[in-house]
């Protein structure tokens, strides 16, 4: 997050080529997409069916998910209506990568929307389907810096409470705004990166390794505080808020909680890829979503040159890789996922 402007940063330029884990999660959600479309009410109209993906990032995975939705609607609903897809993400997103992805595959008409999905992004009663996968664990703001770690699931006391409260408020804002945008009979499909009942994630050791590496670079005291990642892994119970659903005129159709294994973890464990190949894929994935936050922490105090920052980042990932080499079997990167299908009443 940019604490000067109050905005969250987008993913780095390598995201499309390093987001296979997110693609695996989308694939795991296909039964829930189908369930949502089964209960979807489509009113015949000359206007296009509007579908929005909230948190589209650089486009490759979003394009894949939107085509699944479109194809299943055509199969089940047998409609002649056209489709208009809205790809939503932050103003800081790499929109050129998204446009390139859409232009390579002209399956549907797509538009971009550069607002925070914690605001109302589209006109009231305009959407048929709202979709979001692996996005709303990112918070609208960083409520505080963490004194003992870079991730809130390692925090304690008032700092953990601040992140829990921020996550609850953001979740309510997200659902309230999607409810306004959805037409009656429309559906909201969510895949939410989660934690277990104790608040732990499957990537617990990996996440802890991030902070250990930051301590070893080393960062100064303020940089280490600023290296607080503005995300929160909600538990299934935190996601399943029936009172909030009712307030937002949303009916719960389906919910579940699953583990999604990392494909490159599995391939390494099965001997299908070498340790070096595993490290390349794993670190590429980690850099694609996490490097911008560390870079920002280094830039905020305005004491380091760009060249020095680049050197510090290279040093960080070198230390990270060395640690992974020594204990590769300890660093699991699977995911707990909460799946929700909600229908607008």
Give residue 37's pLDDT.
Answer: 98
| Structure confidence by residue, pLDDT tens digits, 202-228 | 999 999 999 999 999 989 999 999 999
- Please tell me the pTM assigned to this model: 0.92
Tokens of 83: 């489709």
Q: Helices 275-300 and 306-326 sit at what angle, rounded to 10 degrees?
A: 140
Q: Are strands 182-195 and 335-344 parallel, antiparallel or unpaired?
A: antiparallel
Give the separation between CA 337 and CA 236, rounded to whole angstroms.
8
16-344 carries CATH number 3.40.50.150: yes
Q: Find out whether 258 and 330 touch, Cβ atoms under 8 Å.
A: no
Local structure of 133: helix, strand or coil: strand
| Structure confidence by residue, pLDDT tens digits, 228-279 | 999 999 999 999 999 999 999 999 999 999 999 988 889 998 999 999 999 9
Give the separation between CA 20 and CA 40, rounded to whole angstroms.
29
How many whole angstroms from its chain centre is CA 12?
A: 13
Strands (E) in 196-285, as ranges, are 234-235, 250-260
Q: pLDDT exceeding 90 applies to what percent of the chain? A: 77
Q: What angle do CA 231, 237, 239 make, to 5 degrees?
A: 50
Q: Helices 204-216 and 306-326 sit at what angle, rounded to 10 degrees?
A: 130
Give the separation between CA 269 and CA 184, rounded to whole angstroms.
47
Domain coordinates in residue numbering, the chain: 16-344
Q: Find out whether 193 and 207 touch, Cβ atoms under 8 Å.
A: no
Give the separation between CA 53 and CA 60, rounded to whole angstroms.
12
Q: Find out whether 183 and 308 touch, Cβ atoms under 8 Å.
A: no
Q: Find out whether 259 and 334 touch, Cβ atoms under 8 Å.
A: yes
Residue that wins the pLDDT comparison between 103 and 232:
232
């Amino acid at each position: 997050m940019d604490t000067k402007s109050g905005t969250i940063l987008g993913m780095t330029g390598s995201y499309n080529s390093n987001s296979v884990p997110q693609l695996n999660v989308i694939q795991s959600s296909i039964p829930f997409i189908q369930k949502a479309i089964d209960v979807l009410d489509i009113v015949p109209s000359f206007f296009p069916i509007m579908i929005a993906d909230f948190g589209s990032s650089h486009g490759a995975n979003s394009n894949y998910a939107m085509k699944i939705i479109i194809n299943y609607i055509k199969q089940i609903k047998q409609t002649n209506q056209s489709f208009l897809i809205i790809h939503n993400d932050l103003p800081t997103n790499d929109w050129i990568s998204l446009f390139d992805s859409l232009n390579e595959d002209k399956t549907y008409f797509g538009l971009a929307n550069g607002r925070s999905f914690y605001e109302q992004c589209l006109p009231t009663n305009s959407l048929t389907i709202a979709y979001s996968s692996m996005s709303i664990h990112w918070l609208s703001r960083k409520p505080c810096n963490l004194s003992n770690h870079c991730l809130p699931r390692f925090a304690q006391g008032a700092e953990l409470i601040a992140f829990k409260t921020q996550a609850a408020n953001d979740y309510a804002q997200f659902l309230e705004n999607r409810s306004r945008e959805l037409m009656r009979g429309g559906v909201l499909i969510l895949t939410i990166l989660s934690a277990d009942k104790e608040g732990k994630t499957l990537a617990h050791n990996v996440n802890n390794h991030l902070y250990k590496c930051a301590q070893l670079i080393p960062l100064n005291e303020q940089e280490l505080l600023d290296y607080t990642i503005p995300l929160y892994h909600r538990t299934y119970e935190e996601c399943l808020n029936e009172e909030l659903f009712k307030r937002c005129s949303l009916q719960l159709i389906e919910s579940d909680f699953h583990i999604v294994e990392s494909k490159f973890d599995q391939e390494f464990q099965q001997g299908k890829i070498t340790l070096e190949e595993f490290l390349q894929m794993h670190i590429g994935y980690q850099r694609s979503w996490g490097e911008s936050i560390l870079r920002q922490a280094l830039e905020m105090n305005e004491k380091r040159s760009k060249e020095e920052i680049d050197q510090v980042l290279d040093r960080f990932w070198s230390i990270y890789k060395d640690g992974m080499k020594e204990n590769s079997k300890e660093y699991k990167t699977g995911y707990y996922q909460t799946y929700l299908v909600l229908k607008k009443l």
